[in-house]
Amino acid sequence: MHSSDSRPTRSTAFSKRPSRRSFSSSRPHSERSGATHTRSAHGTTSAPRTSSRFIYPDSAPTRGHSASGSGERRSYSSHRSSGGGYSRGGGSSFSRGGRQGGGRGRRPQQTFDVSKFINLNPAPLTPDSPYEAKHTFKDFGFDARIVAAVTDMGIETPSAIQDQVMHHIMEGKDVVGLAQTGTGKTAAFLLPTIHKTLRQPGRQTLILTPTRELAIQVEQELRRLTPKMHLYSTVCVGGMNIRPQIMGLRRKNHFIIGTPGRVQDLLDRGHIKPGAITTVILDEADRMLDMGFIHDIKKILKDVPTERETLFFSATMSKTIEGLIHEFLREPVTVSIKKNDITGSITQDVIRYEHHNKFDTLVTNLKKSEFSRVIVFGAMKHSVEKLSQELVAAGIKADAIHGNKSHGQRQRALSSFKTGRVQVLVATDVAARGIHVDDVSHVINYDLPNTYEDYVHRIGRTGRGSKRGQALTFVPA
Ligand code: AMP
């Protein structure tokens, strides 16, 4: 699939003209705590109701669950599992290690403040003070076709990250952009890079992303921004047949977009020529590190000539990231966009369950009419798959997305969810990284997330589009 070499004239799937958008600024309640390969031409938070503490089970580290060759390499082994399991009747979730600190683990137990999952008085959806961009898209000196494409997409003003970072990229500086998904970061690095590629067609940009979904999404954004510009790209991601990717790489590519493991593989085999790469972009670098791609990333950056430009985008900063930046970027300019506190404007609550009725509690909720488009998060690939099947058996239209599914299966599940053919998408954290679906009515944490940051990321799936949904977290009674 996706093996066609689409020519510039080919109309893409993005002909739909979205409504006009403009990015709004940081919300008042910014108190985020804790927290195909394809070869294509492109053309107030409420007072906590409870302060009870939930103790995470401390499961023993287990290796595995890494989808070899897929974008989903992260193994949760080094993190504690939230019990990992789902089982009908709900018994297994906290049975490993015991839910009340029965953890056989030798490590200290992590506690989780349940009140963090509750916010019954969300901040208003509309922010009081939208971000006021200092530039228009015309101010950056972009090729007129780029400005036209942006306008055609219904994008009127630069978002904060775009406003503050694009001129540095235009000037050829290395950049560190601290911005999370949904801030317009993709266009922030694509627009100047596209411009430079139009001026110097010999340029080649390598974009690394943590997951195949994100790689594909970046390519889709690239296509939307480059209609009829005769720019070519190949997506190189794991979990998919490598042959068509190799074929794609034999031809001219202005952009190579991929996951680190597969890109490294293709470099090793000589299909990607490091000497040809003029720009390296790391998208969601923190996620890539979470997923264990550090060695691939370092190797790739060492392979590519040092006179390249390097753009580094990450939602968070850590010591490891600082180290990478220090080692591989030249006097970078850092632009940090304060995170919108989406958590503050999402209604959050917990669902207390007894072990014997966890699944039934889920089904009862899903049968309510307001649960129109729901993402249910589970801890493990197999439990997510099983849960999805049992939901179907219980008469709920559901599908699953996790790293053990083929790329095609994941895309189909996502598409069914987006189009409303299925009501419920059961997902692992990693598989959900690249999901951008508007108007998700509910996010349900059937299994607890590993960290508060993962929690925020999960519930942010309802923070898209015009309506903000609700987040519900299952905690043992
Ligand atoms: P991202 O943060 O890159 O995942 O972008 C999220 C969404 O915002 C994408 O669908 C973009 O097409 C869209 N977008 C990018 N820039 C802007 C902008 N300046 N105004 C409104 N929407 C934008």
- Which residue has the least CA distance to atom 15 on ligand 1? 184
pLDDT at 90: 30
Q: Which atom of ligand 1 is nearest to the CA of 153?
A: 12
Nearest to 11 by CA among 35, 43, 36: 43
| Ligand 1 centroid – CA 66 distance (Å) | 31
**Contact (Cβ atoms closer than 8 angstroms) between residue 167 and residue 135:** yes
CA of 192 to the centre of ligand 1 (A): 15
Ligand 1 centroid to 375 CA: how many Å?
22
Most informative mutation of 23, 151, 183, 464 for ligand 1 (most atoms within 8 A of CB): 23
Closest of 379, 389, 375 to residue 429, by C-alpha = 379
28-78 pLDDT, tens digit per residue, is: 333 233 223 445 555 422 333 333 333 333 222 222 223 333 344 433 222
- How confident is the model at residue 438, as a pLDDT? 81
* Cβ-contact 468, 442 below 8 angstroms: no
Angle at 382 between CA 419 and CA 79, to 5 degrees: 105
Q: Ligand 1 pocket check: which of 24, 131, 155, 218 to mutate, most ligand atoms within 8 Å of Cβ?
A: 155
User: What residue has token string 């010999």?
Assistant: 202
In the block, tokens 């990333």 appear at: 297
Q: Determine the distance separating the centroid of ligand 1 and the alpha carbon of 62, expressed in angstroms.
A: 38
Ramachandran angles phi, psi of 372, nearest 5°: -80, -35
**187 CA to middle of ligand 1, Å?**
7
The Å distance, Cα 438 to ligand 1 centre, comes to 13
pLDDT for residue 316: 81
Looking at the CA of residue 181, tell me the nearest atom of ligand 1.
Answer: 2
CA–centroid distance, 217 to ligand 1, in Å, is 12
CA distances for 361 relative to 11, 358, 386, angstroms: 45, 5, 16
Residue 305 identity: P
Q: How far apart are CA 428 and CA 436, in angstroms?
A: 15
pLDDT (tens digit per residue) in 106-124: 434 445 677 778 877 776 6
Q: Work out which ligand 1 atom sits closest to the CA atom of 217.
A: 4
Atom of ligand 1 nearest to the CA of 185: 3
Q: How far is the CA of 158 from the centre of ligand 1 (A)?
A: 9
- Do 137 and 147 contact (CB within 8 A), yes or no? yes
The token pair at 251 is 């031809």
Residue 435, Cα to own-chain centre: how many angstroms? 6
CB under 6 Å to ligand 1: residues?
Answer: 21-23, 155, 158-159, 162, 181-187, 221
Question: What is the predicted pLDDT for the residue at 75?
Answer: 31
Report how far residue 173's alpha carbon sits from residue 239's, in angstroms, rounded to the nearest whole number: 34
CA of 167 to the centre of ligand 1 (A): 18
HSE-CB of 141 using CA atoms within 13 angstroms: 10
Given a cut of 50, the residues of the chain with pLDDT beneath it are 1-20, 24-38, 43-110, 128
Q: How many angstroms does the Cα of residue 113 sit away from the middle of ligand 1?
A: 33
CATH of region 130-336? 3.40.50.300
What local confidence, expressed as pLDDT, does residue 390 receive?
Answer: 97
Atom of ligand 1 minimally distant from the CA of 162: 19
pLDDT score of 352: 92
Protein residue with least CA distance to atom 13, ligand 1: 184
Cβ atoms of residues 445 and 472 within 8 Å: yes
For the chain, domain boundaries:
30-124+342-476, 130-336
pLDDT of residue 95: 28
- Please enumerate in sequence order all residues whose Cβ is within 8 A of that of 147, keeping only pairs 6 or more positions apart, or say none: 137, 138
- Ligand 1: residue whose CA is nearest its atom 23: 184
- What backbone torsions phi and psi does residue 309 show, to the nearest 5 degrees? -100, 140
What pLDDT does 306 receive? 94
What local confidence, expressed as pLDDT, does residue 341 receive? 61
Do the two domains 30-124+342-476 and 130-336 of this chain adopt the same fold? yes
For ligand 1, atom 17, the nearest C-alpha belongs to: 184
CATH entry, 30-124+342-476, from 3.40.50.12160, 3.40.50.300, 1.10.1200.10, 3.90.110.10: 3.40.50.300
Centroid of ligand 1 to alpha carbon of 127 (angstroms): 17
337: tokens are 């966009």
- Ligand 1 closest atom vs CA 157: 19
Query: Tokens representing 238?
Result: 């794991």
